Amino acid sequence: MISIQIINYKSKKYLSECLRGLFIDLSGVDFKYEINILENSSGENLDDLKKKYPKINLFEAKINLGFGQGHNWLASLSKSEYLLLLNPDIEFVESATIKRLLNIIMNNKRIGVIGPKLITNQGKPQAYDHAELNLFGEILFYLTGLEYWTNKNNPSNVRWVSGAVFLIRRELFKKLNGFDKDYFLYGEEVDLCLRTRKLGINIQYEPSIIVKHYGSVSGGRKQFLSNSIQTYLHKHLPTNLFAKWLNLLLFKVGTKFLK
């Protein structure tokens, strides 16, 4: 069984299209599934979506839990073998997307997390739907905390895949205690994938499977991403004085690109 989880925060118009495509994608599948949606205290009424799609399980948070904590809470409600995290602003553009992702992870025990290739609304590859795991990427990461992305079309073991479409084994998610509560929005999946790789478990990027992702529909990208960068650097990079100075310099440079 697979639990499909979606966090809604002021993204109802995207969520409606996401659900339409989701149920088409799940039509005729030979596995059991449940769809759990958290209205994350954004004030939107999703009752009409519940009426239109009675199979969804709808929950409401009293406060905004953020991305990671929201998914942690939804994950605690079920016992399915796999968790599929979906952003409400994704759109299914191919058939049997979920089934194909599920088949890959089920048939390879070395894979703990898998994600598809993401494309923009213009149909172009979405930058940073994954990060490369190679010698250059390793050196870049350990020296600067920055990631290396390339557009690719072959399945690869990567540093991380985007949380927009993120399939993970429940056993692994539980072992890692889910997402780190110190991240509110952005960077949670990067942190979780790093902890996954430290266990010797692979992160699979599967570009043969394509999903459209609009991106940044909830607002506040610059603020939250800046905070996540600081949290990630503090948690995972060396703490000597030179490293702190270098991290601060890179953070200031990097945040200029978030405007």
Angle CA 15–161–26, to nearest 5: 45
Q: Mean pLDDT of all residues in the chain? A: 85
**How many C-beta atoms lie closer than 10 Å to residue 188's C-beta?**
27
Residue written as tokens 């056993």?
Answer: 171
Residue 230: per-residue pLDDT? 61
How does DSSP assign 141-172, residue by residue?
HHHHS--------S-EE-SEE-TTEEEEEHHH
Cα(164)–Cα(193) distance, rounded to whole angstroms? Answer: 14
Cα(111)–Cα(117) distance, rounded to whole angstroms? Answer: 16
Residue 257: per-residue pLDDT? 39
Residue written as tokens 């399939």?
Answer: 167
Cα(74)–Cα(35) distance, rounded to whole angstroms? Answer: 10
Residue 258: per-residue pLDDT? 36
Residue 128: per-residue pLDDT? 86
Q: Residue 189 is which amino acid?
A: E
Per-residue pLDDT reduced to its tens digit, 140-199: 665 555 678 899 999 999 999 999 999 999 999 999 999 988 765 667 888 899 899 999
Q: Examine the pLDDT at 202 and tell me if it is beyond 70.
A: yes
Confidence band, pLDDT 50/70/90 cuts, at residue 106: very high
Residues 6+ positions from 20 with CB-CB distance below 8 Å: none
Q: Which two tokens stand for residue 111?
A: 């894979």
Q: Which two tokens stand for residue 139?
A: 């050196």
First to last CA, the chain: 41
Q: Say if pTM beats, i.e. exceeds, 0.95.
A: no
Residue 134: per-residue pLDDT? 72
Report the half-sphere exposure of 160 (CA within 13 A, side-chain side): 22
Distances (CA, A) of 169 to 1, 57, 206: 11, 21, 16
**How many C-beta atoms lie closer than 10 Å to residue 95's C-beta?**
10
Q: What is the DSSP letter of 124?
A: P
Cα(131)–Cα(45) distance, rounded to whole angstroms? Answer: 36
